[in-house]
Structure formats: C-alpha cells, structure tokens
Structure 1
Amino acid sequence: MVVRTLPARAGLTWLTDALRLYRQQPFAFTSLVILYTITVSLLAYLPLIGLPLAAVLIPFGTVGLTLAGRDAERGTMPMPMLMAEPFRNPKQRKALARLGFVNASLVLVLVLLVSFLAADELANWKVVDGEVDRASAGQNFPWDAIFAAAIAYVPILMLTWFAPQLVAWHDQPVGKALFFSFFTCWRNRWPFLVLAAALFALSFGVIFVVTQSLQVFGASPQLASMLFAPVALILVSVGYATQYPIYRSLIETAP
C-alpha cells in the first residue's frame, strides 16, 4: 500500500470534488447524513452506554459514507443500504467493532478530561425551577476546557480518519491502521489545514449571506431557525462528502 503526500492546494481540490459529488447526488447524500446523524444522536442519548455505543458505530458510518462518495462518482445514486454494507462481512464487522471500541475508549478519555477541566465552572452553574440558569452558565462557561478538548481531539481524529477504510478494505490490524492513519494525516497536514480553512470560509460565507438575506426580507426568528436547519445540513453533508476524495487521492480507490 502506497500512501501519497500531496501539496497544500490538494485541500481545495478535495473540497471542490466534494461539492461536485454532492451536486450530483444532493438528496441521496443528505438522506444518508440524516440517517447517520440521527442514529448516532439517538444512541448517544441512552443512559450510561449511549455515548460509548455511538462511538463504536462511528467507524461503520465512516465506511458507509466513503462508499456513498464512490457511488456518486460512478454516477450511481448512493442508497441507504450502503450504511449497512460494513456489517455484512463477519470478518470486516468484527474488525470495525474492535476499532469502534478503541474509538469509544479515546472519546471516553476526552470526556473525562473535559469533565475534570470544567469541574470548577460547572459547579457554579445555578439551577432554577429544574432548568440551568442561562446567566450563570454564560458567566461560568468552561472555555478553557472546550479549547483543551478541541486540541486533544486533533490527534484522535488523525488516528481514526483512515483507520476504518484500512481495517475494512486493506485487512490491517487495528493498531497498524491507527498508526498508518495518523502518519498519513501528519504527512498531509497542510492539505488538511487548507481543507479545514476552506470549509470554515465556505460555512461562514453561506451563513453570512443567508443571515443578511433574512434581515433584508424581515424574516421572523422562527422562520430564520427553520431555514438555518437545511443550510446547516447541506454544509455538514458537504463536509462528509470529502471522505471519498481524500481517501482516493491519498491511498487508493475504494473497492
């Protein structure tokens, strides 16, 4: 397996490829993202086991969404059953489950870190009539803990970005897949930084245009909230659509 190292401008190519794939199959991509996010969100709300269980399923979702990009590029509509594809092969299912448990462990460590760093601020939040007082929460928001969590999440993201595909399609052991994923991301850190900046600029620009347009037409806050939901969903879908162009350009075409 050959891992490529690309120049920084590849980040823009990934985004333009993702936009092209999304434009070819907007309904299918959005539907898959809705299915994936709702499933993970509902699982995360389960008491005690919810968050770890959701983290276990993330590698399966990553493989499914990468396959969606592959199908879109081939001119085929990505179907919802793609999300079940990683569960079909028993060997693949077990390997992805092991990777999912590693991912869940890393997420748990991150949650414990945030809880520890945010303990003092959260202790100052007041509860009034069974609800958190917004004023006290705003005055004692754990910004330091959130910033530390964001920094700590970067290496976790690097470890797990390509690991699902490497485990599922290249039969790599979990440890080796995590290693390859991390160093593939590190070797291509500049394209990833450009992609992150481009996604931020795109999101900011779209939200700014929508906000200004709503103000010009005098839209009510309720209508604005209703319109922002699909806009946010489209932006998230485009973000997920980058999975396949990144994998294809750095490693090789999916099966």
Structure 2
Amino acid sequence: MQVRRLAPMRGWEWIVQGFALFRRSPLNWIALCLALVGFALAASLIPPIGELVFYLLSPVLLAGLMVGCRALERGGRLELTCLFEGFRRQTSALVTIGGVYLVGQVLIYGVVILLGGASLEEFMRNVQESTPSSVPQMSGSMMLALAVAAALSVPLLMAVWFAPLLVIFDGLLPFASMRESFNACLANLLPLVVYGSILMVLGFVALLPFALGLIVLVPTVFASIYASYKDIFGSDFGV
C-alpha cells in the first residue's frame, strides 16, 4: 500500500471534506446515524452479550458507511441500505477486526484493574458521594493505571482506524489491514493530532445547547474518516 506523509493541517482539511460530504445528503446522513444510535441502544439492553456483539459488528457498520461515502463522492446517492453493505461482502474479515479490537480492550481493562482496581472503585464511589467543591484526588496507582491504559489504547486504535476501509475497498486481509492502518497513522501522527484536537473543540461546541450540534458533527466525523483514508492512501478526493 502507498502511504502519503501529509502536512499537519491536512487534519483540518479532512474535517472540511467530511462536512462537504455531509452537505450532499444531510437528511440521509442523519437517518443513518440515528439508526446506528438505535442499534447501540438496543444492544445496551442485552448486557453484556449485546454490547459485545455491537463491538464485533462496529467495523461492519463502519464499512457500510464508507461505501456510502464513496457513492456520494462519485455523484451517487447515500442509500440507507448502505449501512448493511458490510454484511454482504468481507463480513468475516470485518468481524475479525472487531474481535481483535474487543479482545484488546478487554486486555487493557484487565491491566487497568490489575494496576489500580481498588483505587479506581474507591475513587468513583467518592466522586458519587462528594459535592462539586470536594472532588477527591486521584492516587498514584490510579494515575499509573490510566496512563498505561492510554499508552495501550492509542496503538490499538491506530491499528483499527483505517482497517475496515482497507478491507472493504482494497480487499486486504484483517491483520494486513491493521498493519497498514497502524503504519499509516504512525506516518501521519501530526495531522491526526491536529484532526483529533479540532474535533475535541468542535465536540465541546456541538454539545451547546442540548447537544444539537452532534446532528451535524457525528456524520461529518464519519465522512472525514473516508476523506483521510483517500488522502493518506494516495487517492485524489473529488469533493
């Protein structure tokens, strides 16, 4: 796979291009995102099996959204049925990516519990019982546990970030797609940091008032993932 090393401000361009894709079919984008929220809520009603299944199927659903992005880019329509495109092809590969991510998260959670489980439970209990003016402080073991969790979570996220797109568009096998995704993220850390930082600011703004801005931001984020994939892996983005 050809991977481009891009300038830091390309991270902002991905968001701009994602918003341009959202503007092409805003109502369908909102409907698709509401459907995703519905799936997540339905899964949460069947703990813990439902949540595990949603984790496994997340790459499948994301791949469907990316197929919808490609249709929009090429002048087509964003069909609501695109959400299920990942169930029609490359399903096992996409589920494998979800499985790797799920196992990775479980292992990270185990490390966190091992390093600071008792302290974390006590901290959360104290937070619930405290007033806003007397929030308890984190212990050293808790800070270590959270730092280790962050250090392990970032490489895992890098490995799965582009993996569904590389499977659905380029036909890569699951572990090859995760390797290429990790390498692409590593080669473009600065634009990804800019991208993530801007999204954090936009996310804060979108929550005011009543989180109405998420109606626009969430579809834009999904579309921006497609924009970044096209940019990093050497294809021109025709928006």
TM class, shorter-length: 0.7 to 0.9
Counterpart selection for 2:94 from 90, 93, 96? 96
Deviation of 1:14 after TM superposition, in Å, equals 0.5
User: Does the residue aligned with 1:139 lie in a helix, a strand or coil?
Assistant: coil
Tell me the distance in 2 between the aligned counterparts of 1:233 and 1:3: 32
User: Does the residue aligned with 1:230 lie in a helix, a strand or coil?
Assistant: coil
Relative distance call for 1:166 and 1:253 in structure 2 (3 A) is farther
Q: What is aligned with 1:37? A: 37
Tell me the distance in 2 between the aligned counterparts of 1:156 and 1:41: 25
Task: Tell me, yes or no, if the aligned pair for 1:63 and 1:164 is still in contact at 8 Å.
Answer: yes
Tell me the distance in 2 between the aligned counterparts of 1:176 and 1:33: 29
Relative distance call for 1:229 and 1:141 in structure 2 (3 A) is farther
Deviation of 1:71 after TM superposition, in Å, equals 2.4
Relative distance call for 1:46 and 1:253 in structure 2 (3 A) is farther
- When normalised by structure 1's length, the TM-score is 0.78
Matches for 1:76-115 after TM superposition, within 5 Å = 76-89=76-89, 92-115=90-113
Relative distance call for 1:198 and 1:170 in structure 2 (3 A) is same
Relative distance call for 1:200 and 1:47 in structure 2 (3 A) is closer
Task: Tell me, yes or no, if the aligned pair for 2:206 and 2:214 is still in contact at 8 Å.
Answer: no
> Aligned residues: percent identity?
27
**Are residue 181 (structure 1) and residue 176 (structure 2) matched?**
no
Q: What is aligned with 2:130? A: 135
Q: What is aligned with 1:232? A: 214
Q: What is aligned with 1:244? A: 226
Task: Tell me, yes or no, if the aligned pair for 2:123 and 2:138 is still in contact at 8 Å.
Answer: no
Q: What is aligned with 1:20? A: 20
Task: Tell me, yes or no, if the aligned pair for 1:124 and 1:136 is still in contact at 8 Å.
Answer: no
Tell me the distance in 1 between the aligned counterparts of 2:57 and 2:225: 17
Deviation of 1:192 after TM superposition, in Å, equals 0.7
Of 145-154 and 65-74, more deviation after overlay is shown by 145-154
Counterpart of 1:135 in structure 2: which amino acid? S
Q: Would you say how many aligned residue pairs link Structure 1 and Structure 2? A: 230
Of 97-106 and 143-152, more deviation after overlay is shown by 143-152
Deviation of 1:12 after TM superposition, in Å, equals 1.3
Relative distance call for 1:229 and 1:124 in structure 2 (3 A) is closer
Deviation of 1:84 after TM superposition, in Å, equals 0.7
User: Does the residue aligned with 2:213 lie in a helix, a strand or coil?
Assistant: helix
Tell me the distance in 2 between the aligned counterparts of 1:23 and 1:3: 28
Tell me the distance in 1 between the aligned counterparts of 2:146 and 2:14: 28
Gaps of 5+ in 2: none
Task: Tell me, yes or no, if the aligned pair for 1:86 and 1:93 is still in contact at 8 Å.
Answer: yes
Task: Tell me, yes or no, if the aligned pair for 2:4 and 2:231 is still in contact at 8 Å.
Answer: yes
User: Does the residue aligned with 1:98 lie in a helix, a strand or coil?
Assistant: helix
Deviation of 1:147 after TM superposition, in Å, equals 5.3
Gaps of 5+ in 1: 211-226
Relative distance call for 1:106 and 1:12 in structure 2 (3 A) is same
Tell me the distance in 2 between the aligned counterparts of 1:97 and 1:2: 25
Matches for 1:200-219 after TM superposition, within 5 Å = 200-207=200-207, 210=208
RMSD between superposed Cα atoms in Å: 2.8
Relative distance call for 1:192 and 1:43 in structure 2 (3 A) is same
Deviation of 1:17 after TM superposition, in Å, equals 0.4
Task: Tell me, yes or no, if the aligned pair for 2:18 and 2:227 is still in contact at 8 Å.
Answer: yes
Moved over 6 A (4+): 140-143
Q: What is aligned with 2:119? A: 120
Deviation of 1:38 after TM superposition, in Å, equals 2.6
Q: What is aligned with 1:164? A: 164
